Amino acid sequence: MPTPSENGSDTHLKAASSASFDGQSGRWELVEASDLPRISLDESDGSDDQLAGVSGDESIQSGGVGQNIAKDAGASVTTHPLQQTLGESPTTSVPDGTVASLSMSSQLAEPNPVSAGTSADQPKPKLQLQRRQQLEHHLKANPADLDSFLELARIYRDENHPIDARRVLQQALQIFPDDADLLWEFEEATLSRSLQQLREVSELASRLDTAETDRELSRCQQDWAMRRIEVCQSRINRDPSLVHLRVTLGEAMYEAERFDDALDELDPVLRHWELSPSAYLIRGKCLLAMGKDLDAMVAFRACALRRAVVAPLRTRVFALRLLCETADRLGIVLTLAQYRSALQQAEQELAKQAALGK
């Protein structure tokens, strides 16, 4: 490979005109930089594509690293999806990774998928914003468009704004009070908003750990329980065949310390084998909270130790732990060893599942 001269002069090695690429050897001659031909960019009629084609051919001939560099360089020229749809000129990425386009708002809202490392099929924030604004204006003039209400609410849910989704759906319910799908979406938005508040306050309470945050956390926990109770009761009243919702309802009533009501809701579920383990577990927790320890142990055994109905592994482990704790507290020694053996076996199975990534 040629190197600069030792005297530091601005000289270059140039292939003589007699050199060829058909297998014949060429010769090299030493020339000054001032003697090299210069091409003005203003005078050149070649396009960027022509220049890219030359560099691409050279890189393929050299192979290896040069070919990879050519691919990387080619990736810097991309066509923006929106502009391609609208028939605008393609955009090119500038050195800092942003997009040089005719629209500054498009540049800020939607980075280049290639330079930003995002996939083209992901939701576009600007498109979603535009669609949301269109729907808001459309519904002002057409308040009887149910599909637009539902679409707007889904956009708000996707943007993690359940409070706005609930507002939109509440407006729609005033016009369509008997629409089942609309009511279902309104209930989902209500639950999402309550859960969002609970998560935010839980994170705040874990960082601050003050009496005020503890009170707010307790309030959010009660609100989360009450919202689930309301939604489950409403859906069961509309469709009594939704027996599985009684498990969720019983759990929410347990968290709201409505133990007697929870037991009443769980009784019909005990006849359904596939749902009975969860129902027995919640029943046992309610009985423990009511001070009925022996009755609670009966429920925990029905959850974890029945051979005819095998409980899900996590449910079984949780019930066995409560069963062992209760038996130990009451001093029931004869069966405590049996419970601990079953718990140890279940925990080993759970650890194996976790190791296998199931």
The predicted-structure confidence for 66-100, as pLDDT tens digits, reads as follows: 333 233 333 332 333 322 222 333 333 323 332 22
46 vs 333, residue with greater confidence? 333
- Does residue 81 contact residue 120 with C-beta atoms inside 8 Å? yes
Burial class for 166, CB neighbours closer than 10 Å (0-12, 13-18, 19+) = buried
Between 320 and 102, residue with greater pLDDT: 320
**Cα of 291 vs its chain's centroid, Å:** 42
Task: Please give the pLDDT value at position 123.
Answer: 55
Residue 276 above 90 pLDDT?
A: yes
Stretch among 3-17, 50-64, 188-202, 295-309 having the lowest mean pLDDT: 50-64
Q: Find out whether 320 and 290 touch, Cβ atoms under 8 Å.
A: no
Q: With 90 as the cut, is the pLDDT of residue 137 above it?
A: no
User: Which region among 38-47, 191-200, 217-226, 243-252 has the lowest average model confidence (pLDDT)?
Assistant: 38-47
Q: Is 32 helix (H, G, I), strand (E, B) or coil?
A: strand
Whether residue 12 is predicted with pLDDT greater than 50 in this model: the reply is: no
**CATH 1.25.40 is held by the domain 131-239:** yes
Q: Is residue 41 pLDDT above 80, yes or no?
A: no
Mean pLDDT across 140-149: 87
**0.85 exceeded by pTM:** no
C-alpha 52/C-alpha 74 separation (Å) is: 8
Dihedral angle sign, alpha carbons of residues 272, 274, 278, 284: positive
Over residues 180-199, the mean pLDDT reads 95
Q: Say if residue 347's pLDDT is above 90.
A: yes
Averaged pLDDT, 339-349: 96
Beta carbons of 278 and 247 less than 8 angstroms apart = yes
**Whether pLDDT at 112 is above 50:** no
Alpha-carbon span 299 to 285, nearest angstrom = 9
Query: Considering only 75-79, 133-137, 175-179, which range has the smallest mean pLDDT?
Result: 75-79
For 24-38, 101-115, 146-160, which range has the lowest pLDDT when averaged over its residues? 101-115
pLDDT at res. 96: 34
Residue 101: is its pLDDT beyond 60? Answer: no
Average pLDDT over residues 314-340: 96
Rg of the chain taking only CA atoms, in angstroms:
35
Which pLDDT belongs to residue 190? 95
- Percent of the chain at pLDDT exceeding 90: 56
Check whether 113 has a pLDDT greater than 50: no
Q: Look at residue 153 and tell me whether its pLDDT is greater than 80.
A: yes
State residue 126's pLDDT score: 74
Residue 23: is its pLDDT beyond 90? Answer: no
- Per-residue exposure over 79-116, b if at least 16 CB sit within 10 Å of its own CB, e if not: ebebbeeeeeeebbbeeeeebebebeebbebbbbbbbe
- Whether 59 has a pLDDT exceeding 90, the answer reads no
pLDDT above 90 for 289: yes
CA atoms within a 13 Å half-sphere pointing along the CA-CB vector of 248: 18
Check residue 18 and give its pLDDT.
Answer: 45
Average pLDDT over residues 37-57: 41
8-state DSSP, 34: G
**Overall residue count recorded for the chain in this entry:** 358
Residue 358 has what pLDDT? 54
Q: How far apart are CA 326 and CA 340, in angstroms?
A: 12
Instruction: Report the share of the chain in percent with pLDDT over 70.
Output: 65
Are the CB atoms for 187 and 231 separated by under 8 Å? yes
The pLDDT of residue 124: 66
Specify the amino acid at residue 267: D
Would you state the pLDDT for residue 207? 93
